[in-house]
Amino acid sequence: MINASLKELATALGAKQISSVELTQLFLDRINRLNPEINAYITLDADRSLAQAAAADALIAQGKAGPLTGIPFAQKDIFCAQGWRTTCGSKMLENFVAPYDAHIISQFDNAGAVNLGKTNMDEFAMGSSNETSYFGKVQNPWDRARVPGGSSGGSAAAVAARLAPAATGTDTGGSIRQPASLCGLSGLKPTYGVCSRYGMIAFASSLDQAGPMAKSAEDLALMMNVMAGFDTRDSTSLQRDTEDYTRDLNQPLKGLRIGLPREYFADGLDAGVAKVVLDAIEQYRKLGAETVEVSLPNTQLSIPVYYVLAPAEASSNLSRYDGVRYGHRAAEYTDLMDMYCKTRAEGFGAEVKRRIMVGTYVLSAGYYDAYYLKAQQLRRLIAQDFEQAFKQCDVIMGPAAPGTAFKTGEKTNDPVAMYLEDLYTIAVNLAGLPGMSVPAGFSNGLPVGLQIIGNYFSEARMLNIGHQYQQVTDWHKQMPQGIE
Amino acid sequence: MQWEVVIGLETHVQLQTNTKIFCGASTAFGAEPNTQADAVSIALPGVLPVLNREAVQCAIRFGLAIDAEIGRRSVFARKNYFYPDLPKGYQISQFELPVVGKGKITIQLGDVEKVINITRAHLEEDAGKSLHGDFHGATGIDLNRAGTPLLEIVTEPDMRSAAEAVAYAKKLHELVQWIGICDGNMQEGSFRCDVNVSVRPKGSDKLGTRREIKNLNSFRFMQQAIEYETRWQIETLEDGGTIQQATVLFNPDTGETRAMRSKEEANDYRYFPDPDLLPLVISEADIEAVKAKMPELPEAMKARFEQQYALPAYDATAITASRGVADYFVAAVAAFGGEAKLVANWVMGSVAAKLNEEGKAIADSPVSAEQLAGLLKRIADNTISGKMAKEVFEAMWSGEGDADTIIEKRGLKQVSDSGAIEAIVDEVLAANAAMVAEYKAGKEKAFNGIVGQCMKASKGKANPAQVNEILKKKLAG
C-alpha cells in the first residue's frame, strides 16, 4: 500500500480493500515511527485527519467518490488550512492557527482528500536544503546525513520515505524540482497563474507557484486536476478552460523535439549527474524523440536577477509580520520601534533577515534603478531566451540540480554556493514557464532528477513526456532503504 | 520686501463604494471597531488583493469631470512603511502611472475666474486608525477603515492665497459630490486636504522650500492654517532664518502650525509595482460606459439654465454652485410652473440666507422645493404680497405647514376687492388731510406716506398695486 500509485489507492478504496480511515492510520503510524528522525512534518493532527478520512469513507460508501477521495496528502506548511497551525517554517508563526483555507487546501477538501499533516520547509520558503526551518532540519531518506533539498524539503522527504502517498509543494526558484531531484521524486511547477496563490503564504509573489510532488508523472497529473483552476481571489490567477491533465498521458513521443541548452551542460554540472541526464535523453531518443541543441544565453544572469527580485518582493511581503495583530511579539519592549525591532529580530531566522536586508536595499531610493529596474529588464531577456529556444523545440531537457543531495551543514556557511543549487531551475520561474523533475537514475547511490521545461500551459504534454519515460524505466519506483 | 505665497493641494477623497478597494468588507462608517476587518483587511498571511472595479469607475468619472487624460494602463505600487494601523506594512497606491492624468478645475473669486491645474489623481487604500483612548497605556487599532478606497487628487502649485486654496477646495468638494463619487462628509474624514505652502519674493520664479500642512478637514481651519503658516514663513525668512522642508500639523485651539517630522526623518517608501495586482487597463468601452452614466456637469448645467430659464449668468452660476441647490431649484421650478427668475431669487435669497444662518445643507432644508413652489404660486396669483410672503416663508421654515395653511390660519390673504380697498382709502384720506394737502402742493413723496397709511390700515393685506391705482384716481379727482 505504501508504494501504491494514486490510481491504485483509489481502486483499493473503491473496492473496499481498505478504508480511508485505515489508509490514513497506516500513514499516521509510519509517521509516528519514522518522523521523529526524518522530521518531514511540523504539525500533525490525527483526530482531524481521521475525521476527514471517515467523511471520505462515507462519500465512497455513497458512490460519490472522485479520483482522490479518501487518499491522504501531506500539505506544505505554507498553505493556510483552517484550524491547522500554519507556521511557514518560522518562529514568527509558531503559534499561528489559520482561520481560513488556502485555495489549494479547499480544492483538496472538495475532492474528498485527507490532510495528513503540514510538512517542514525552509523558513518562508527561503532555502535549498530545508536547513533554515525553525522546526529543525529534515533528513534525506536516501542518506540521512544529507539534505532533502528545499524549500519543499519536508514534502519531498515525506513522499520519499513513504510517509505520504503524495504531497504539495511550492516553487519560487526551484523549491519543488530541486528537492524532487534530490529525493528521487516527480515534481511539477506549473505555469505561473495556473494554481491560485490565495492562502499560500507569500515569499516572492511574481514567482511563487504551487505544484504537486509525487512518485510518478501520472500521480502529478491526477493532483493537477484538483490543484489547477481559476480563482477570483487571486488577481494573477488565469481564467482558462478546465483541463484534464491525464488526457495526453498515453500519447506516443514519436517526433518530439527535445532542446538541449548548451548552458545547462557546461561548467558547474556534476559529472555523475550529467551522465544520468544524458542517459535519460538517450532513452527519449529510443522512444522516438529528436534532440536539438539550443541556447539560453542569459542563464548565468538568472541567479543575480532572482536574488534582486525575490528579496525585493519578500522584504515587502514579510512586513506584515510586525507583532501587532498575530504571530510572534517580543515579550518586553520600551516603545513601538523597540517592539518592531525585537519582534522581528527574534521571529525571523538568519536567511530570512539576509533576504529582507537585500530586498530593502535594492528598493531604496538611489538603488532602485540600478538593481530592481535593471533586474526586471534582464528578466524579460531571460524569458526571451526561452521564446527563441521554443521555436526550435517542443520541450527543453537538462538537469534539475547541479549535483545530488549534499551533506547537512555543507553549504550553510556559503550562501552563494547554496544559491547555485537553483542554477537550472530559477530561470523557469523568472519566465513563468512550467518545469518538472522526474527521477532519471542515481549517482553514487543518490537520486538524480531530469528537468523537463515546457512552453506556457504545456503541462499535459510534459506529464505525457514524463509518463512515457516512466513506462520504460523504474527509477521512480525505487525506494530508499531503512524505511520499511 | 514683498512676498508671494505659493500653494498646492493634495486631497484624499473617500470614494462612495459599498466595499473596500481590494476586498469585500463593508466601508460603512461608524461600526464597532474591527467588525469590518476581514482576512484581507487585517493582512493575514496568504491573503491577496482583488481590485474593486467600482472604485475604478469613480476615478474615471472624476477624470472625465476635470477633462483629464484617463490612464489607459496604470500600475498599483506598494508604498512601504511600518505603522501599527497599516496592516500589510505597505499601502497599495499608484506611483509612476496614475489612473487620472493632467486636468483642470476652474475656481471663481468674486468676478475673477482662475484655472487650477490638476497634476494627477490616483487610487489608493486608506489605513486603519490608531485609538489613543483608554487601553491601559496601550494604543488601540481599528482596522475598519483599512482598505477604504481613496482618490488622491494633486494640484500644481497654482494657488497664491489662502482664499484661492479654500475656493479650490470648496469647488473640488462640491464637484466630487456632484458626480456622486464622495459623500463629502468632512467630519467623518471623507474629504481631507494636505496643503503645501511655500513663500518667495514677489516676482521670483523659483519656488521656496515648502512645508506640508497635513489632514485639514474643515475649510475654516484650512484658511487659518494657511494664513498662519504664510505669516510664520515670511517672519522666519525676514528674521534671517531658513525654512526646513517639513510636515506640520494645524492646532485649531491655538491657531498655529507645528512641525511633526522633518525631512531627515522622512521615510524612504521603497515604491515598486505590486506583483499581486495586474496593471489596471482601461478600455475605450470602460470610459464610454462611465460617460453614459455621467451626470450633467456644473458648467453645462449653468449654460443650459441661462438658455432654458432665461436666468442671468450670475444667477445661473450661483444656482449651479452645488448639485443640491441645482436639484432644489429645478424641482421648485417644475412644481411652481411660473417665472424661473422668481424661483432663483428666492433660492439665492431667503432660502440661502436661512440655510447659511443655521449651517444647514439644502438637502436638510425644512422648506422643500415643493413647499417653496406653493408659496410662489400665491405670490404669482396675488393672494399674498411679497412682504407677506416673507412672513409665510418664516412660518413654513419653523414647520407650521404649507403656504396655503399658513395664509389661511393667519388670515394673510391679500384684499383685492376694489370696493373694500376704496373704503380703506377713503378713510385714510379723511384722517390725513395734512398729507393730502402736502401732496396736492406738489410734494410727491407724501404719496408714498399715504400708501403706507392705507397698507397699515388694511393690516398689510391690501393689494398694493390696487391701492396705488385707486389712490391716484382719488387724489387726481
- Domain with residue A180: its CATH number is 3.90.1300.10
pLDDT at B265: 57
Cell numbers at A335, concatenated: 516603545
Average pLDDT, chain A: 97
Cβ–Cβ gap A340/B82 under 8 Å: yes
End-of-domain residue from the set B272, B288, B304: B288
In terms of residue numbers, what domain contains B57? Answer: 3-288
Burial class (CB in 10 A: 0-12, 13-18, 19+), A15: exposed
Q: How far is the C-alpha of B54 from the C-alpha of B97, rounded, in Å?
A: 19
Instruction: Tell whether the model's pLDDT for residue A228 goes beyond 60.
Output: yes
Using an 8 Å Cβ cutoff, are B245 and B274 in contact? no
Q: How far is the C-alpha of A174 from the C-alpha of A380, rounded, in Å?
A: 19
pLDDT at B264: 53
Active site residue A151: yes
Report the chain A residue with the minimal C-alpha distance to residue B37. Answer: A325
Q: Tell me the per-residue pLDDT of A449-471, one tens digit each, with 9 for 90 and over.
A: 999 999 999 999 999 999 999 99
Report the chain B residue with the minimal C-alpha distance to residue A341. Answer: B82
Q: Bridge-partner residues for A41, per DSSP? A: A119
First-to-last alpha carbon distance for chain B, in angstroms, is 74
First-to-last alpha carbon distance for chain A, in angstroms, is 12
- Does B360 share its domain with B259? no
In terms of residue numbers, what domain contains A208? Answer: 6-256+458-477
The verdict on residue A282 lying in a domain is no
The verdict on residue A374 lying in a domain is no
The verdict on residue A334 lying in a domain is no
- Does B162 share its domain with B101? yes
How far CA B187 is from CA of B141, B158, B216, B477, in Å, comes to 20, 27, 10, 68
- Does B130 share its domain with B209? yes
Cβ–Cβ gap A324/B272 under 8 Å: no
Q: How far is the C-alpha of B423 from the C-alpha of B431, rounded, in Å?
A: 12
Buried b (16+ CB within 10 A) or exposed e, A184-206: bbbbbbbbbbbbbbbbbbbbbbb
The verdict on residue A351 lying in a domain is no
pLDDT at B261: 67
User: Which residues in chain B show pLDDT less than 70?
Assistant: 261-266, 477
Q: Tell me the per-residue pLDDT of A188-204, one tens digit each, with 9 for 90 and over.
A: 999 999 999 999 999 99
- Does B403 share its domain with B256? no
Interface A-B, measured as beta-carbon pairs within 8 A, has a size of 96
Number of domains observed in the structure of chain B? 3
Helix (H, G, I), strand (E, B) or coil at B97: coil
Crossing angle for the helix pair A217-227 and A103-110, nearest 10 degrees? 100
The verdict on residue A27 lying in a domain is yes
- Does B68 share its domain with B128? yes
pLDDT at B174: 94
Residues of A with CB under 8 A from a CB of B: 79-80, 86, 88, 93, 96, 98-100, 102, 197-202, 204-206, 232-236, 312-313, 315-316, 318-320, 322, 324-326, 336, 340, 360, 363-365, 368, 372
Cβ–Cβ gap A100/B44 under 8 Å: yes
Burial class (CB in 10 A: 0-12, 13-18, 19+), A363: buried
- Does B33 share its domain with B157? yes
Cell numbers at A368, concatenated: 532602485
Query: B121 — phi, psi (to 5°)?
Result: -140, 135
- Does B20 share its domain with B57? yes
pLDDT at B462: 82
- Does B270 share its domain with B360? no
- Does B252 share its domain with B396? no
Number of domains observed in the structure of chain A? 1
Compute and round to an integer the Cα radius of gyration of chain A. Answer: 21
Contacts of B51 in chain A (CB under 8 A): 235
**Region for residue B242 given its phi and psi (left: phi exceeds 0; alpha: psi -120 to 50; beta: otherwise):** beta
The verdict on residue A413 lying in a domain is no
Contacts of A368 in chain B (CB under 8 A): 270-272
The verdict on residue A410 lying in a domain is no
End-of-domain residue from the set B232, B267, B288: B288
Residue type (1 letter), A112: G
End-of-domain residue from the set B372, B392, B410: B410
CATH of the domain at B451: 1.10.10.410
Query: A351 — phi, psi (to 5°)?
Result: -65, -40
Cell numbers at A19, concatenated: 478504508
The pLDDT of A156-168, averaged and rounded, is 98
Cβ–Cβ gap B84/A79 under 8 Å: no
- Does B213 share its domain with B112? yes
Specify the DSSP element, H or E, that contains B426. helix B418-431
Enter the ipTM.
0.96
- Please report the residues numbered 178 through 207 in chain B whose beta carbons come closer than 8 angstroms to any beta carbon of chain A: none
Would strands A72-76 and A114-119 be described as parallel, antiparallel, or unpaired?
Answer: parallel
Q: How far is the C-alpha of B279 from the C-alpha of B40, rounded, in Å?
A: 20
Which residues neighbour A61 within 8 Å (Cβ) at sequence distance 6 or greater? none
Query: A262 — phi, psi (to 5°)?
Result: -50, -45
pLDDT at B237: 96
- Does B312 share its domain with B222? no
Burial class (CB in 10 A: 0-12, 13-18, 19+), A430: buried
Q: Tell me the per-residue pLDDT of A278-296, one tens digit each, with 9 for 90 and over.
A: 999 999 999 999 999 999 9
- Does B188 share its domain with B318? no
The verdict on residue A315 lying in a domain is no
